[in-house]
Amino acid sequence: MIEDRDARTKEIIKRLKKEYPDAHCALNHGNPFQLLIATILSAQCTDERVNIVTAELFRKYPTPQHFIELSQTELEKEIHSTGFFRNKAKNIKAACERLIAVYGGEVPQNMEDLLTLGGVARKTANVVMGNAFGIASGVVVDTHVSRLSQRLGLTEQKTAEKIEDDLQRLVPKKHWVMFPHWFITHGRRICNARKPLCNECVLADICPSRNDLV
């Protein structure tokens, strides 16, 4: 067992990078705007469902202006299956209106401006910054990243913001964009919430939670 968190983090990154060389953002998108909308829709919804919805949504409405011209009711119908559709539709329309009014229809490439858009909190902004622009602004913390970070002893925190603070201290900045993809892929395939497959895990020998999970 590697007791030192920095050393364990380094080994975790080394192993997961080798195990999942094709890990990537699971939300289908062709440009920063599409990724922004897909990420807003992904709240409390699976990426698979979002991709089903956005395949048709982006074909019909490819720009912020198209979403502005769409009625609230019609947008709600389009995204209904992603859940929380009323609030998501409201946020998407507000974000598109600001994109047109303030940013010339283009998604801004900095955290401060992204956070002024409807429906955009730090997690969404990090997703867009890292995956659309290749800018390491932080570490995306979703349910998988939270769970694995706690199980692997990288944090004892419970909130996404505090977990991100710990991960930013442990994970080299050059890995900030990919680190969540490795964790998310591993969380889905092996270290799931209910019944983790510890006997198949490449991190089993350095996981401080293994004895509690098997």
Euclidean distance between CA atoms 196 and 213, whole angstroms: 7
Q: Is 18 one of the catalytic residues?
A: no
User: 93, 142, 158, 165: which is the annotated catalytic residue?
Assistant: 142
Report whether 136 contacts 173 (CB < 8 A).
yes
Dihedrals phi, psi of 122, to nearest 5 degrees: -60, -40
Name residue 174's amino acid. K
User: 113, 123, 165, 212: which is the annotated catalytic residue?
Assistant: 123
Q: Can you tell me which residue has the tokens 């048709």? A: 56
Q: Is 123 one of the catalytic residues?
A: yes
69: exposed, middle or buried (C-beta count within 10 Å: 0-12, 13-18, 19+)? Answer: exposed
Active-site residue list: 123, 142
